[in-house]
Amino acid sequence: MRMTLVARQPTRITMTSVIFNYGTVVLSIIAFLLTAIALCTPSWQVVYAREIRQWVQSGLWLSCQTRPNGMYSCTYSFSHDDFNTYFSDEVSGFRTPAFYPWQRTLFHIYLISQGFALFSLICFCVSVSQRDSKLPSILRVVFLILAALIAIGCLVTFAVFSYMVEYRFFHVSVSGIYEKHRGYSYYIALVAVLFYVAAIILGTLQCLLSARGNSTISRQNINSSLQSDFFEYQYHPNRQTEESYEDRFAMRTLPPVPKKQTMF
Protein backbone atom coordinates (compact mmCIF):
# COMPACT_ATOMS: atom_id res chain seq x y z
CA MET A 1 0.00 0.00 0.00
CA ARG A 2 2.87 2.36 0.73
CA MET A 3 4.34 1.86 -2.75
CA THR A 4 0.96 2.70 -4.34
CA LEU A 5 0.68 5.99 -2.43
CA VAL A 6 4.22 7.00 -3.38
CA ALA A 7 3.50 6.25 -7.03
CA ARG A 8 0.43 8.49 -7.05
CA GLN A 9 2.20 11.52 -5.62
CA PRO A 10 4.13 12.46 -8.80
CA THR A 11 0.92 12.08 -10.81
CA ARG A 12 -0.87 14.53 -8.54
CA ILE A 13 2.01 16.97 -8.76
CA THR A 14 2.10 16.64 -12.54
CA MET A 15 -1.63 17.32 -12.89
CA THR A 16 -1.37 20.41 -10.67
CA SER A 17 1.61 21.61 -12.69
CA VAL A 18 -0.34 21.19 -15.93
CA ILE A 19 -3.29 23.14 -14.50
CA PHE A 20 -0.98 25.96 -13.40
CA ASN A 21 0.74 25.88 -16.78
CA TYR A 22 -2.44 26.36 -18.80
CA GLY A 23 -3.82 28.79 -16.23
CA THR A 24 -0.74 30.93 -16.72
CA VAL A 25 -1.12 31.05 -20.47
CA VAL A 26 -4.85 31.86 -20.23
CA LEU A 27 -4.19 34.75 -17.84
CA SER A 28 -1.35 35.97 -20.06
CA ILE A 29 -3.60 35.99 -23.14
CA ILE A 30 -6.32 37.89 -21.26
CA ALA A 31 -3.78 40.47 -20.04
CA PHE A 32 -2.33 40.82 -23.55
CA LEU A 33 -5.76 41.39 -25.11
CA LEU A 34 -6.88 43.83 -22.40
CA THR A 35 -3.70 45.86 -22.87
CA ALA A 36 -4.25 45.89 -26.63
CA ILE A 37 -7.83 47.14 -26.10
CA ALA A 38 -6.59 49.86 -23.77
CA LEU A 39 -4.00 51.00 -26.30
CA CYS A 40 -6.46 51.01 -29.19
CA THR A 41 -9.09 53.09 -27.37
CA PRO A 42 -8.77 56.87 -26.81
CA SER A 43 -10.43 57.13 -23.40
CA TRP A 44 -7.35 57.63 -21.24
CA GLN A 45 -8.40 61.19 -20.40
CA VAL A 46 -12.02 62.34 -20.80
CA VAL A 47 -13.51 65.81 -20.51
CA TYR A 48 -16.79 67.45 -21.44
CA ALA A 49 -16.38 71.01 -22.70
CA ARG A 50 -19.69 72.80 -22.09
CA GLU A 51 -18.60 75.83 -24.03
CA ILE A 52 -18.44 73.90 -27.30
CA ARG A 53 -20.72 71.04 -26.14
CA GLN A 54 -18.23 68.32 -26.96
CA TRP A 55 -16.92 65.19 -25.32
CA VAL A 56 -13.15 65.05 -25.80
CA GLN A 57 -11.24 61.79 -25.32
CA SER A 58 -7.44 61.83 -25.33
CA GLY A 59 -5.48 58.61 -25.74
CA LEU A 60 -1.83 57.77 -26.14
CA TRP A 61 -1.98 58.05 -29.93
CA LEU A 62 -5.69 58.66 -30.66
CA SER A 63 -7.83 61.71 -29.84
CA CYS A 64 -11.58 61.72 -30.49
CA GLN A 65 -14.27 64.39 -30.22
CA THR A 66 -18.05 64.23 -30.30
CA ARG A 67 -19.50 67.09 -32.32
CA PRO A 68 -22.73 68.88 -31.29
CA ASN A 69 -24.49 67.35 -34.32
CA GLY A 70 -23.56 63.86 -33.12
CA MET A 71 -20.64 63.31 -35.49
CA TYR A 72 -17.67 61.45 -34.01
CA SER A 73 -14.26 62.42 -35.37
CA CYS A 74 -10.80 61.19 -34.42
CA THR A 75 -7.25 62.17 -35.14
CA TYR A 76 -4.17 60.05 -34.57
CA SER A 77 -0.45 60.59 -34.21
CA PHE A 78 2.43 58.11 -34.25
CA SER A 79 5.13 60.74 -34.60
CA HIS A 80 5.55 64.48 -34.27
CA ASP A 81 5.17 65.00 -38.03
CA ASP A 82 1.77 63.26 -38.26
CA PHE A 83 -0.14 65.84 -36.28
CA ASN A 84 1.76 68.93 -35.20
CA THR A 85 -0.80 71.70 -35.84
CA TYR A 86 -1.61 72.18 -32.18
CA PHE A 87 2.07 72.30 -31.26
CA SER A 88 2.60 75.62 -32.97
CA ASP A 89 3.13 78.61 -30.71
CA GLU A 90 0.16 80.52 -32.14
CA VAL A 91 -2.41 77.81 -31.50
CA SER A 92 -1.11 76.24 -28.29
CA GLY A 93 -1.45 79.57 -26.51
CA PHE A 94 -5.24 79.35 -26.30
CA ARG A 95 -6.10 75.70 -26.99
CA THR A 96 -4.82 72.45 -25.54
CA PRO A 97 -2.80 70.27 -27.93
CA ALA A 98 -4.40 67.00 -28.98
CA PHE A 99 -1.22 65.09 -28.14
CA TYR A 100 1.86 65.55 -26.04
CA PRO A 101 5.30 64.01 -26.64
CA TRP A 102 5.17 62.03 -23.38
CA GLN A 103 1.96 60.30 -24.49
CA ARG A 104 3.62 59.10 -27.67
CA THR A 105 6.65 57.93 -25.66
CA LEU A 106 4.43 55.94 -23.30
CA PHE A 107 2.74 54.33 -26.28
CA HIS A 108 6.07 53.14 -27.69
CA ILE A 109 7.15 51.79 -24.29
CA TYR A 110 3.83 49.98 -23.98
CA LEU A 111 4.54 48.29 -27.30
CA ILE A 112 7.77 46.93 -25.79
CA SER A 113 5.71 45.48 -22.94
CA GLN A 114 3.40 43.82 -25.45
CA GLY A 115 6.43 42.39 -27.22
CA PHE A 116 7.65 40.75 -24.01
CA ALA A 117 4.17 39.32 -23.42
CA LEU A 118 4.22 37.89 -26.94
CA PHE A 119 7.61 36.31 -26.28
CA SER A 120 6.18 34.64 -23.17
CA LEU A 121 3.42 33.05 -25.27
CA ILE A 122 6.04 31.80 -27.72
CA CYS A 123 7.96 30.26 -24.81
CA PHE A 124 4.77 28.45 -23.78
CA CYS A 125 4.49 26.90 -27.23
CA VAL A 126 8.13 25.82 -27.02
CA SER A 127 7.62 24.34 -23.53
CA VAL A 128 4.71 22.24 -24.81
CA SER A 129 6.86 20.74 -27.56
CA GLN A 130 9.89 20.29 -25.27
CA ARG A 131 8.51 18.97 -21.99
CA ASP A 132 11.88 17.80 -20.67
CA SER A 133 13.45 21.28 -20.80
CA LYS A 134 12.85 23.75 -17.97
CA LEU A 135 14.34 26.76 -19.78
CA PRO A 136 11.18 27.74 -21.79
CA SER A 137 9.04 27.80 -18.63
CA ILE A 138 11.60 29.94 -16.80
CA LEU A 139 11.93 32.34 -19.75
CA ARG A 140 8.15 32.63 -19.94
CA VAL A 141 7.98 33.81 -16.33
CA VAL A 142 10.88 36.21 -16.90
CA PHE A 143 9.18 37.76 -19.95
CA LEU A 144 5.92 38.09 -18.02
CA ILE A 145 7.74 39.87 -15.20
CA LEU A 146 9.33 42.30 -17.69
CA ALA A 147 5.98 42.95 -19.39
CA ALA A 148 4.27 43.57 -16.05
CA LEU A 149 7.02 45.88 -14.76
CA ILE A 150 6.97 47.97 -17.94
CA ALA A 151 3.16 48.18 -17.88
CA ILE A 152 3.16 49.21 -14.22
CA GLY A 153 5.80 51.84 -14.93
CA CYS A 154 3.72 53.25 -17.80
CA LEU A 155 0.59 53.40 -15.64
CA VAL A 156 2.39 55.17 -12.83
CA THR A 157 3.95 57.62 -15.27
CA PHE A 158 0.59 58.35 -16.87
CA ALA A 159 -1.03 58.86 -13.46
CA VAL A 160 1.69 61.34 -12.48
CA PHE A 161 1.69 63.28 -15.76
CA SER A 162 -2.10 63.39 -16.08
CA TYR A 163 -2.33 64.94 -12.61
CA MET A 164 0.10 67.74 -13.44
CA VAL A 165 -1.43 71.18 -14.02
CA GLU A 166 -0.17 71.62 -17.59
CA TYR A 167 -1.71 68.27 -18.66
CA ARG A 168 -4.69 68.03 -16.33
CA PHE A 169 -6.93 70.74 -17.81
CA PHE A 170 -8.49 71.20 -21.24
CA HIS A 171 -8.36 74.74 -22.60
CA VAL A 172 -10.97 75.74 -25.14
CA SER A 173 -10.37 79.45 -24.86
CA VAL A 174 -9.01 81.91 -22.35
CA SER A 175 -11.99 81.50 -20.02
CA GLY A 176 -13.05 77.97 -20.99
CA ILE A 177 -10.94 75.62 -18.84
CA TYR A 178 -12.18 72.13 -17.94
CA GLU A 179 -10.63 69.38 -15.86
CA LYS A 180 -9.79 66.06 -17.46
CA HIS A 181 -10.60 62.74 -15.80
CA ARG A 182 -9.18 59.27 -16.35
CA GLY A 183 -11.32 57.19 -18.67
CA TYR A 184 -12.06 53.51 -19.10
CA SER A 185 -8.92 52.85 -21.16
CA TYR A 186 -6.72 53.58 -18.15
CA TYR A 187 -8.70 51.21 -15.93
CA ILE A 188 -8.66 48.47 -18.58
CA ALA A 189 -4.87 48.73 -18.62
CA LEU A 190 -4.89 48.56 -14.80
CA VAL A 191 -6.95 45.35 -14.86
CA ALA A 192 -4.54 43.92 -17.45
CA VAL A 193 -1.65 44.48 -15.03
CA LEU A 194 -3.53 42.53 -12.35
CA PHE A 195 -3.90 39.63 -14.79
CA TYR A 196 -0.17 39.82 -15.50
CA VAL A 197 0.58 39.58 -11.77
CA ALA A 198 -1.74 36.57 -11.39
CA ALA A 199 -0.06 34.90 -14.39
CA ILE A 200 3.38 35.48 -12.86
CA ILE A 201 2.28 33.86 -9.59
CA LEU A 202 0.86 30.80 -11.34
CA GLY A 203 3.89 30.53 -13.61
CA THR A 204 6.26 30.63 -10.65
CA LEU A 205 4.25 27.95 -8.82
CA GLN A 206 4.25 25.81 -11.96
CA CYS A 207 8.05 26.00 -12.19
CA LEU A 208 8.42 25.03 -8.53
CA LEU A 209 5.99 22.12 -8.84
CA SER A 210 7.66 20.92 -12.02
CA ALA A 211 11.07 20.93 -10.33
CA ARG A 212 9.64 19.12 -7.30
CA GLY A 213 7.93 16.51 -9.47
CA ASN A 214 11.09 15.83 -11.46
CA SER A 215 13.12 15.37 -8.27
CA THR A 216 10.51 12.99 -6.83
CA ILE A 217 10.41 10.94 -10.03
CA SER A 218 14.21 10.75 -10.16
CA ARG A 219 14.35 9.50 -6.55
CA GLN A 220 11.73 6.85 -7.31
CA ASN A 221 13.65 5.74 -10.38
CA ILE A 222 16.78 5.32 -8.27
CA ASN A 223 14.89 3.33 -5.62
CA SER A 224 13.22 1.09 -8.18
CA SER A 225 16.55 0.52 -9.91
CA LEU A 226 18.16 -0.52 -6.63
CA GLN A 227 15.29 -2.85 -5.80
CA SER A 228 15.37 -4.46 -9.24
CA ASP A 229 19.13 -4.99 -8.95
CA PHE A 230 18.71 -6.63 -5.55
CA PHE A 231 16.01 -9.03 -6.71
CA GLU A 232 17.95 -9.81 -9.86
CA TYR A 233 20.96 -10.66 -7.76
CA GLN A 234 18.96 -12.79 -5.34
CA TYR A 235 16.87 -14.81 -7.82
CA HIS A 236 18.96 -14.83 -10.97
CA PRO A 237 19.47 -18.44 -12.19
CA ASN A 238 23.06 -17.79 -13.28
CA ARG A 239 24.05 -16.44 -9.92
CA GLN A 240 27.41 -17.57 -8.63
CA THR A 241 27.19 -20.59 -6.32
CA GLU A 242 30.08 -19.53 -4.16
CA GLU A 243 29.10 -16.78 -1.77
CA SER A 244 30.95 -15.01 0.89
CA TYR A 245 30.57 -15.89 4.50
CA GLU A 246 28.68 -12.64 5.22
CA ASP A 247 26.13 -13.28 2.43
CA ARG A 248 25.47 -16.84 3.60
CA PHE A 249 25.14 -15.66 7.17
CA ALA A 250 22.75 -12.77 6.28
CA MET A 251 20.50 -14.80 3.96
CA ARG A 252 20.34 -18.14 5.70
CA THR A 253 16.94 -19.29 6.86
CA LEU A 254 16.08 -19.77 10.49
CA PRO A 255 16.15 -23.32 11.86
CA PRO A 256 12.79 -25.00 12.39
CA VAL A 257 11.08 -24.77 15.72
CA PRO A 258 11.90 -27.88 17.86
CA LYS A 259 9.01 -30.17 18.63
CA LYS A 260 7.89 -30.68 22.14
CA GLN A 261 8.96 -33.99 23.67
CA THR A 262 6.63 -35.70 26.05
CA MET A 263 7.96 -37.44 29.10
CA PHE A 264 6.61 -40.93 29.88
Mean pLDDT value across residues 63-71: 78
Its pTM stands at 0.71
**Residue-level pLDDT at 108:** 93
Q: Which helix (H) or strand (E) holds 13?
A: helix 2-40
Q: How far is CA 218 from CA 29, 214, 258, in A?
A: 34, 6, 48
171-193 confidence digits (pLDDT tens): 877 667 888 999 999 999 999 99
Which of the residue ranges 22-36, 52-66, 86-100 has the most confident prediction, judged by mean pLDDT?
22-36
Give the full edge-to-edge strand order of the sheet including 72-76.
72-76, 62-66, 54-58, 45-49, 181-182
68-97 confidence digits (pLDDT tens): 777 778 887 765 554 444 444 444 444 566
